Structure 1
Amino acid sequence: MTHGIAALPMYNVTPQHGMLWRAFLRDALGEFARRAGVRERIALLDEPLGDLFALWRSPDLLMSQTCGFPYRLLGLDRQVHLLATPVFNAPGCEGAWYRSVLLVSAQAYANGATSLAACRGLRAACNSADSHSGMNAFRHAVATTIPKSVRSERFFASVSFVGSHWNALRALAADEADVASIDCVTLAYVRDARPEMLESLREIGMTAAAPGLPFIASRTLPVAHAALLRDALDHACTLDTLRAKTLRLQGFSRLAPADYAVIEQFADEARANGYAELV
């Protein structure tokens, strides 16, 4: 029985990006169906709502993209095939690895928040507690770059979980937060499509690098079909050069599941440095 659910929910930063990713997904799945001789209908979920974990864990999942944090730290790696990791042309990316950019509001910057250490006592915004780029990498940066004697038990005055990187940027621009950690690919998309969103923000550094957001399929999918999906991803990259350029997508890398241990290492190092929670 062929699996039939597919969605790419992670980098739909603007409506244009969402449209392009859906077109990319259609092309990739069309090529997969051709190669695999699949005739069953594949349901493309344009805007997956509700519990993304239910989508990623579905035995009917044919293709999606997840964050490295749930993949490595929440057990998703035991339930899915790791298909491939995208390679982006964006500041902060190194092959299939990426970083988060530390941003502060113009007001915070003017008041001296020109480094992460100087953000002590400020208001942090975070997309979600299960995000590597917005939380885990941010937590790791605080834990490993700021001495514990300076950091104290609580580093920030408050941490608000705002639901998305876009909302975190809006909070900084509206002076509702002072500092945030933003996925560098998301930031590049915003800079391309909505540069005015960043006019009042300032970059003060980057986090350490980690493997990018992996494309996945249900572990119940035959291994041979997973291999065909990988080839279909490569094929879809070549079909529309303007689309690939707009998405800053250069191709896909075949990382191993063990490569994502770095994300768990970030969490372990933060815990070892007495900073188990982003606070």
Structure 2
Amino acid sequence: MIAHLGMYDRPETAEANDRFWALIRTHLGRGPDQLTRGADFWEVWKSPELLLSQTCGCPYRTRLYGEVELAGTPDYGLPGCPAGYYNSVFIARSADAGQPLSAFAGRRFAYNEGLSQSGWAAPMVHMHDRSILPGALVETGGHSLSAQAVAEDRADFAALDALTWELVKAHDGFAEGLTEIERTEPTPALPYITALGQNPQTLFAAIEAAIRGLDEDTRNLLHLKGLVQIAPSDYLAVPTPPGPVLTEQRIRAA
């Protein structure tokens, strides 16, 4: 069986995630001794051996729906978001503080990957609704890497999920050179998933009990406030914009 909590796993949160999984395993009464790390996310998500992982809303609605079960959505207590929801934060260099998002039309936009809800889908829908088109796309492979690309002037702005932005501000020195520009509308946050054939209700109960049982420092480090149930239909209702290839064509044609 596979247990994997890689979405917000970084050196500063790794031990906290280990404690979280240990409590989930205790309440569940089964599961691997240790979390899987370093594996390909898609291989984990599609594995019939998957006991627990966390995915993003965009991969879920575009490729994983019908192939996995939802086992609850964590509530991170993010500002301006209902329980179990999150949003994207547009960030830029501090020299651009106070600029409206419209000022970034025609400038370099860093994104983690084209199947990211918070790094691609939400910001692209947000910009499209405001007739804002970037001038170039810079794919980075990760939210923190997008923020770093902006800090190092390899891009002019980016969109990070709101929890990653909190982690970047807390743990990455380059965040001192960044500023928040604007936020998107909230959408359902990253759900916990399990393979078909597993019991999502049992997992939900174990995760919920584990969150309650964590010590305060660990809960705060992981930003965990609780667990909610969000229907698959709520994830499927979130709009999916054109991907990077079609967007680059629009940029070249503009």
TM-score (norm 2): 0.90
Q: Which residue of 2 aligns with 1:84?
A: 72
Alignment of 1:40-119 (within 5 A): 42=32, 44-50=34-40, 52-74=41-63, 76-107=64-95, 109=96, 114-119=99-104
1:259 paired to 2:234: yes
Partner secondary structure for residue 51 of structure 2 = strand
Whether the 8 Å CA contact 2:21–2:35 is kept in 1: the answer is: no
The answer to whether the 8 Å contact 1:62/1:217 transfers is yes
Moved over 4 A (4+): none
The answer to whether residue 161 in structure 2 is matched with residue 165 in structure 1 is no
Match of 2:22 among 23, 26, 50: 26
Q: Does 1:132 align with 2:117?
A: yes
For 1:178-193, list aligned pairs within 5 A: 178-193=156-171
The runs of 5 or more residues in structure 2 that have no matched partner are none
1:205 alignment partner, SS class:
strand
Alpha-carbon deviations, 1:105-147, whole Å to 9, x = none? 234x16xx8122111111111011110000001110111122x
Please give the alpha-carbon distance, in whole angstroms, between the structure 2 residues aligned to 1:187 and 1:63.
24
Count of equivalent residues = 246
TM-score, scaled to structure 1:
0.82
Amino acid at match of 2:247: E
Deviation at 1:252, TM superposition (A): 0.4
Matched-pair contact (CA < 8 Å) for 2:109–2:157: yes
Alignment RMSD: 2.0
- Match of 2:61, as an amino acid? R
Give the share of equivalent positions with the same residue, in percent.
30
Segments of structure 1 that go 5 or more residues without pairing to the other structure are none
Aligned partners of 1:58 and 1:92: how far apart in 2?
35
The amino acid across from 1:230 in the alignment is F
Alignment of 1:229 onto 2:203: yes
1:277 is matched with 247
SS at match of 1:199: helix
| C-alpha deviation, 1:276, in angstroms | 5.9
Superimposed CA distance per residue, residues 248-273 of structure 1 (whole angstroms, 9 cap, x where no aligned partner): 1101001111110232x2x2xx46xx
